């Protein structure tokens, strides 16, 4: 594949932690651009990124990079993101394209659209990849490889901006880009991401755990891998998507109570059918 060449454009990453750092490394590795900058309050991370050649320069003051960037990628925590946008709205370069990387889309997209300048464009985004650890030191361009990226274009989105963003996402390693509304996104990830995270944390909070650590096999390790969680970020994400998550938890409690009852009543036919459905569907997922 020919490398993406947008060497007339400047890009700024806001927040150079795990996702922001990985984004910066993946852009540096795969895309020709004019300047790649980062904004953060963490000077150590900025210096590390600058002196290893990942970014051209790092800033704790947003004015200069925002005034000169065609594309701004927000990789900050939920509660900081909207404040950052509001406080810095006057600095953004005319016609700049802004995107974010938050795991929740409805709130950030609607709040941003209500405060954004008319000449700017905001497209919500969610890279479906991550690691347990956080911080720039754990960032890695390869975490994006073969992962999915969800974009939530809105009525103000131009096809030019959407296509440019898609080119960048594909160039840095993502295998699929899925477009949907921000509401649909939040409904879906309540099931595919937040429910398994909450289950993993519930297992780790079990009062049985300490007695049983010596008999842990692969199934328990896998089921709890994501339980080494960023609690600050996740408490925000969970409350932001509260209604959808409560809905999924209710469904799951009904489902697992149902299989409890199947086992309790020695209903072998239904247990085997439950296991067979599971086996067939999981095999088909092929991941």
| Span 129-148, contacts to a copy of itself by CB under 8 A | 129-130, 132, 147-148
Q: Are 229 and 193 in contact (CB under 8 A)?
A: no
What CA–CA distance (Å, rounded) separates 238 from 189? 11
Choice from 23, 62, 198, 240 touching a copy of itself (CB under 8 A): 198
The span of 10-18, 36-44, 54-62, 271-279 binding a copy of itself (CB under 8 A) equals 271-279
Instruction: Identify the residue whose tokens are 């440019």.
Output: 164
Site for a copy of itself in 88-127 (CB under 8 A): none
What CA–CA distance (Å, rounded) separates 223 from 56? 40
Q: How far is the CB of 38 from a copy of itself (least distance, A)?
A: 25
CA trace torsion 284, 150, 246, 78 (10° rounding): 150
What is the CA 277 to chain-centroid distance, rounded? 30
Pick the closer one to a copy of itself by CB: 32 or 260: 260
Q: How far is the CB of 265 from a copy of itself (least distance, A)?
A: 10
Cα dist from 114 to 109, 111, 154, 279, whole Å: 9, 5, 12, 46
Q: Does 279 bind a copy of itself (CB under 8 A)?
A: yes
Over the window 14 to 53, marking each residue x when it contacts a copy of itself by CB under 8 A and - when it does not, the resulting string is: ----------------------------------------
Pick the closer one to a copy of itself by CB: 146 or 163: 146
What is the CA 8 to chain-centroid distance, rounded? 28
Q: How far is the CB of 92 from a copy of itself (least distance, A)?
A: 30
Q: Does 226 bind a copy of itself (CB under 8 A)?
A: yes
Site for a copy of itself in 159-188 (CB under 8 A): 176, 178, 185, 188
Pick the closer one to a copy of itself by CB: 37 or 174: 174
Number of amino acids touching a copy of itself (CB under 8 A): 87
DSSP string over 104-123: --HHHHHHHHHHS-TT-EEE
- Nearest Cα to 48, choosing from 40, 258, 78? 40
| φ, ψ of residue 97 in degrees (nearest 5) | -100, 125
Q: Does 275 bind a copy of itself (CB under 8 A)?
A: yes
Q: Does 189 bind a copy of itself (CB under 8 A)?
A: yes
Q: Are 59 and 65 in contact (CB under 8 A)?
A: yes
């Amino acid at each position: 594949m020919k490398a993406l060449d947008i060497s007339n454009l400047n890009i700024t990453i806001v927040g150079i932690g795990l996702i922001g750092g990985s984004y910066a490394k993946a852009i540096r590795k795969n895309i020709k651009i004019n300047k790649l900058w980062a904004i953060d309050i963490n000077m150590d991370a900025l210096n590390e990124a600058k002196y290893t050649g990942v970014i051209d320069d790092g800033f704790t003051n947003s004015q200069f990079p925002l005034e000169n960037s065609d594309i701004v990628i927000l990789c900050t925590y939920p509660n900081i993101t909207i404040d950052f946008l509001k406080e810095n709205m006057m600095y953004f370069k005319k016609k700049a394209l802004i995107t974010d990387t938050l795991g929740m889309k409805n709130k950030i997209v609607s709040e941003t659209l209500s405060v954004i300048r008319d000449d700017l464009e905001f497209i919500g985004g969610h890279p479906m990849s991550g690691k347990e650890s956080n911080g720039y030191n754990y960032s890695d361009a390869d975490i994006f490889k073969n992962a999915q990226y969800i974009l939530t274009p809105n009525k103000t989105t131009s096809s030019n901006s959407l296509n440019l963003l898609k080119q960048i996402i594909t160039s840095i390693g993502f295998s699929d880009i899925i477009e949907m509304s921000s509401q649909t996104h939040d409904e879906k990830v309540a099931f595919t991401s937040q429910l398994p995270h909450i289950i993993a944390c519930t297992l780790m909070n079990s009062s049985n755990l300490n007695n049983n650590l010596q008999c842990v096999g692969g199934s328990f390790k896998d089921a709890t891998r994501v339980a080494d969680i960023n609690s600050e970020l996740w408490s925000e994400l969970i409350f932001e998507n509260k209604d959808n998550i409560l809905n999924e938890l209710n469904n799951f409690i009904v489902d697992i109570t149902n299989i409890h009852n199947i086992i309790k009543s020695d209903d072998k036919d239904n247990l085997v059918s439950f296991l067979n459905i599971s086996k067939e569907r999981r095999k088909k997922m092929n991941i």
